[in-house]
Structure 1
Amino acid sequence: MDFLAEYDAIPQTDAALRVGLLRQRMKTEGPALLRELRARRPVFATPVGVFVTRMPDVVEVLSTPDVFTVGVYGPTLEEALHGPFMLARDGADFHWHDRAHAQLMLPAEDFAPVRRLTARLADHALDRADRAARAEGRTTFDYIQEYAAPVAARVASEYLGFTDVPEETLHTLSQRVQWAVFVNPDRNPEVHASGVAAGKELHDLVAGVIHRRRAGTGTADGTPRDVLDRMLRTVLPPGTGPELDEERINHQLVGYLIGYQQNATQCAATALKELAARPDALAEAERLAGGDDTAAFDGYVWEALRFHPFVPSTPRLCVRDHVLAAGTPRETPLAAGTVVHAHMASAMFDETAVDDPYAFRPDRTPVHNLVLGHGAHDCVGKYPARAIVPEMVRRVLLRPGVRPLPGPEGAMDYAGTPYPQHYTVTTGTAPLS
């Protein structure tokens, strides 16, 4: 029985059973379920909100923040950050002020230096993982724990400015906040409390970093050494928004980490996994990795992530009555108070908008890739992200023999969490005798 037939056979009064079936199928057969919804019920009303699956409708939701707000998760995020943050707000009174400031702190000009930084840190991590494996008589290492997570954290330390904070602390605390805010639909109280506590710990750690930095920011020639230095040296013109005091800097810097650390770690892992599942694409990516055309190589990484996006769906709160997809056969009136789930993972495979969506095409138009989001709340760190994630994958493919294990052995282990925790790859070298 297909999903919709089974779902419709459940009485409307049994919301729990309907939701249980939906979540079970989404977990085990997500792509097939979304394909069925796109074809037969592209705007799908459920007890936990309206699922939007077509590209134009997802774009409409994400492009209309005055109607579809971040009110679903915004309060929880600010509770965890212990203060306001742009990802938890909409409108000119806060969101756009802080977003404009963030784009100055995370500019496109950082692309090249951040890529060089990532390359250096990635090579060092691969060397260290290889030495540890050889010394212990292993021919494999854990790609996530020994490579992706540490590299992401070291970039956060050197680029964002989380100096003196242990890399494991950055990764673990940010993951707990991510889990509580974005992957806790039933508001499990233990997960929520853990995330809020982790956010407070990050806040206090960053307060200490800021205090130490106040003693002297910048390098010997006075230029900022990292994003935190930029923030501490920035003076906003009067009347252009809230004062950029230490608390606001703290909330922004921790917010950047929450939106970056786990995302970069997982994307570096899932991109490699998706490439490994396509031998021809992997071979071509390996060839391009050694060349000068990094843009061509990067296309393979972002196309791989289209098949496994870090954020497959994002919730929005409809704050006033609205007609979605007006003038189309799927036109749907939405009442104020409706929770809407914009399924970006589905939109990127919308057969009515994306040409041959199930083919692996690294030269696709960026318009059809929503991995970094879309609209008012797309990834504010998209410029450094476009350097960090592909370069983490590229450094691995430049190492002969460092590749995922084949078959079931190469599966990712989530270890009971929403995020990949372990991914075994070969070292490419023999153990020390």
Structure 2
Amino acid sequence: MGCLKTSVNRMKRRLSPFTRQLRLLAEIMSITTRLKEWASNNVPLVFSILRFIQPNVIYKNNAVITRFKDVQEALSRPNELGVTYAEKMRIITDGKNFFLGMDDIPDYTRDVSNMRLVARRDDLEKIVNPMTEKMARVIMEKSSGRIELVSELTSVVPSQFTAEYLGVSGLEPKTLFDWTCNLFQYLFYPDCPKEVEDAAIRDAAGLRAHIDELIKQRKQQPEKDDVLGRCLKLQESGTPGMTDIDIRNNLIGIIIGLVPTTSKCVIQVLDYLLDRPELYKQAQRAAHLDDMHTLQQFVLETLRFTPFGAGLLRTANCDYTIAKGTWRAKKIKKGSQVFVATQSAMMDGRDVSSPKSFKLDRPRHIYMHFGYGMHTCFGQYINLIQIPNILKAILKCEHVQRAAGKEGQVTYRQPYPISLTVTHEVMTRPAVKTKQESKEAEPSKVA
């Protein structure tokens, strides 16, 4: 019996260093998990610390860029720090890349130029502004004092706009919203869950088939002056890069970037303003004056505090030194994944004055919600009309309040708001103004 006890004690002594190591490892893993959780819940603070002590972080084959100047540098080097979307875009289109997934190559210039010819800047005032303003206003006028904003407004207007302006009609708003949310998440989020990836691949097939059929039908119908109709006219003229497949792929890319972004931005801006009554009143005054410029500034500045995303991913196509010639210079090795933190850049006090203050007079160049450089969002000017117009329709209602309980709080599914219910009174009609008042309240031109 004594021998057995001695053997057990010897075994314990042998195991104790190993046991202590296991316990230490478990404690480290627990601390690491807690640190990751803390960091994910305190992103602005983490970025603030990094900007000060280590603006450009290199860890294994990953890099994080946090300062304003360095972020703009990274996004201005499309061939050295290229986009990461090409492979997934080919899956979405079942073969070809879309200009969003291209580096600075001839096909990129050709495709973007073609789409600029059909989605024109001068459409903003003549078509986009009145169209989206009316769509949002009609929905709010028909609401009965209570509205679930995502399903009834913020996803519906961009879906209607996709049908009327882009010419991609025939899909229910909920279907288009669900499809594009899955596709956007699959394309832009590296940690996209497997179920979303599977849904995105399925939805891409549905969207391809729908637009292919639509193109066939439109060729048999009278001409219509929408983006699809203009694409078909370019095709008839023999313009390179305007085959049926090219047209379909370009439309898919634009729609993915249009629908979910618009809905999410409206909800996040409104959610922020509802928690800040003084800012809400200022925004409401701008809405009643149809002051588009001020509403745009509200959108841009609010999204600086509650951004659509924390940044953009790039991949190093070659060895590249960021911030070369400065103390913060770092060599990014070829093949590294680079996270370009636009959220952090817009809070960098070295280039953004009083970054923690809410200011409506900031210059537009400090905002990077739509990216920066060659791959700045193709639809940024449309979004800067559509988002404020949807917001304006809400702000023109009186006594907008969150619904009671959970319904009055934003509910998310993955990265997207899917629900926010508010109560309100019927939209107010503009009062009769004197000539002087009308002159003072004259709507500002859209950007």
Q: TM (normalized to structure 1)?
A: 0.86
2:117 equivalent among 104, 122, 126: 104
1:414 is paired with a residue whose SS is strand
1:127–1:151: structure 2 CA closer, same or farther, 3 Å change rule?
A: same
1:162–1:331 Cα change, 3 Å:
same
CA contact (8 A) 2:146 2:421 kept: yes
In the alignment, the residues of structure 2 paired with residue 327 and residue 161 of structure 1 have an alpha-carbon distance, to the nearest angstrom, of 50
Match for 1:154 among 143, 156, 160?
160
Quote the offset at 1:350 in angstroms. Answer: 0.5
Among 42, 56, 63, which residue is 2:76 paired with?
63
Deviation at 1:266, TM superposition (A): 0.5
Q: 1:418 aligns with which of 402, 415, 429?
A: 415
Gap runs ≥5 in structure 2: 1-23, 427-447
**Residue among 206, 224, 229 paired with 1:201:** 206
- Going from structure 1 to structure 2, the CA distance change for 1:94 and 1:166 (only over 3 Å counts) comes to same
Letter in 1 for 2:420: Y
Residue 141 of structure 2 aligns with which residue? 127
- 1 CA distance for matches of 2:132 and 2:341? 31
Q: Following superposition, which runs of at least 4 residues in structure 1 exceed 6 angstroms of deviation? A: 14-19, 406-409
CA distance in 1 between partners of 2:316 and 2:244 (Å): 33
Q: CA offset at residue 404 of structure 1?
A: 3.5
- In the other structure, the counterpart of 2:88 is 76
1:148 to 1:96, Cα distance in 2 relative to 1, 3 A: same
Distance 1:21 1:42, change over 3 A: farther
Alignment match of 1:270 (pick from 268, 286, 310): 268
- For the residues of structure 1 that align with 2:99 and 2:378, how far apart are their CA atoms? 10
Range with bigger deviation, 340-349 or 296-305: 296-305
**Structure 1 residues 406 and 345: CA distance shift in structure 2, 3 A:** farther
User: What is the alpha-carbon distance in structure 2 between the residues aligned to residue 191 and residue 334 of structure 1?
Assistant: 31
Length-normalised TM-score, structure 2? 0.84
Identity %: 26
Structure 1 position 43 matched with structure 2 position 43: no
User: Quick one: structure 1 residues 46 and 428, their matched pair in 2 at CA, closer, same or farther if it must change by over 3 Å?
Assistant: farther
CA distance in 1, matches of 2:183, 2:31: 29
**Which runs of structure 2 are paired with 1:383-394 in the superposition (5 Å)?**
383-394=381-392
Q: Per-residue displacement from partner, 1:235-286 (whole Å, max 9, x unpaired)?
A: 4987x8x531101000001111001100011111111112223222211111
Q: Structure 1 residues 73 and 235 mapped into 2: Cα distance closer, same or farther (>3 Å)?
A: closer
- Give CA deviations for 1:353-375 in whole Å, capped at 9, x if unaligned: 11001111111001111111111
Look up the SS of the partner of 2:314 in the other structure.
strand
Unmatched 5+ stretches in structure 1: 1-10, 132-138
- Describe the shift of the 1:17–1:204 C-alpha distance in structure 2 as closer, same or farther (beyond 3 A): farther
Larger radius of gyration: 2
Q: Which range moves more in the overlay, 319-328 or 187-196?
A: 187-196
Q: Which of 169, 172, 176 does residue 175 from structure 2 map onto?
A: 169
CA separation of 1:264 and 1:337: change in aligned 2, threshold 3 A: same
Give the Cα separation in 2 of the matches to 1:395 and 1:201: 32
- CA distance 1:15–1:380, change in 2 (3 Å): farther
Q: C-alpha displacement at 1:209, in angstroms? A: 1.0
Correspondence list, 1:174-193, <5 A: 174-183=180-189, 185-186=190-191, 188-193=193-198
In structure 1, the residue corresponding to 2:416 is in which secondary structure?
coil
The 3-state SS of whatever aligns with 2:42 is helix
Partner of 1:143 in structure 2? 149
Q: Aligned-pair distance for 1:321?
A: 1.0
Give the counterpart letter for 1:426 in structure 2. Answer: T
User: 1:153/1:292 Cα in 2 relative to 1: closer, same or farther (>3 Å)?
Assistant: closer
Q: Verify the 8 A CA contact 1:410 1:424 in the aligned structure 2.
A: yes
The match for 1:7 is none
Contact in 2 for aligned 1:65/1:90 (Cα 8 Å): yes
Q: Distance in 1 between matches of 2:122 and 2:334?
A: 41
Deviation at 1:41, TM superposition (A): 1.5
Q: What residue is the counterpart of 1:234 in the other structure?
A: 234
Question: Do 1:19 and 1:47's aligned partners in 2 also have CA atoms closer than 8 Å?
Answer: no
**Which amino acid is the alignment partner of residue 77 of structure 1?**
M
Q: Distance in 1 between matches of 2:168 and 2:31?
A: 45
Cα pair distance change 1:40/1:297, threshold 3 Å = same
Amino acid at match of 2:70: D
What are the Cα deviations for residues 215-235 of structure 1, in whole angstroms up to 9, with x where unaligned?
Answer: 12434xxxx1x1111111114
Report the alpha carbon displacement of residue 20 of structure 1 after superposing the two structures with TM: 5.4
Alpha carbons of structure 1 residues 45 and 213: separation in structure 2 relative to 1, 3 Å:
same
* Pairwise CA RMSD: 2.5
